[in-house]
Amino acid sequence: DGLTGDTLSAVAVDGDVAVLGAPGADGARGVAYVFTRAGDGWVNTGRLTASDRASGDLLGGSVAIDGDIIVVGASGDASARGAAYTFAATGPFLRTETAKLTASD
C-alpha cells in the first residue's frame, strides 16, 4: 500500500523473516509489515496493527523479532505515553496481537 508519508523507519530480521515499521502509515496510526524470504527475494506476508489504534500512535517506530515473537513500539500512544505491542505467530503467515506493554509509572 506504500503511500507518501508512510515513512519506513525501522527494520528487524530473524532468519527468513523481516519486520519493517512504518509509523507514518494510516494517518500516523502506524503499521508493521512482515516479509518472508522466498528464494532470492522477499514476499510481504503480513500487516500488523494495534487493536486499539488511534491517529498519532506511530506504531512501527521501533520493531524487534525473536523467533515467533514480534514486538512493535508505538511511541505516540497517548493513553500510555508510549507502548509496545507483542504479536505471536498463530499460523504459517498469521500473527496475532498478544499484549500491550506500558510503563507502570
CA-based nearest residue to 65, from 17, 25, 7: 17
Q: Is the dihedral angle over the CA atoms 65, 18, 85, 91 positive or is it negative?
A: negative
Q: What is the pLDDT of residue 78?
A: 74
What is the pTM assigned to this prediction? 0.91
Going through the chain in order, the beta strands assigned E by DSSP cover 10-14, 17-22, 31-38, 41-48, 59-66, 69-74, 83-89, 95-101
Instruction: Compute the distance between CA of residue 86 and CA of residue 88 in angstroms, rounded to an integer.
Output: 7
Q: What is the pLDDT of residue 100?
A: 95
Rg (CA), the chain: 13
pLDDT tens-digit profile, the chain (105 residues): 555 566 788 999 999 999 999 998 988 999 999 999 999 999 999 999 999 999 999 999 999 999 999 999 999 987 768 999 999 998 878 899 999 999 887
Q: What is the pLDDT of residue 63?
A: 98
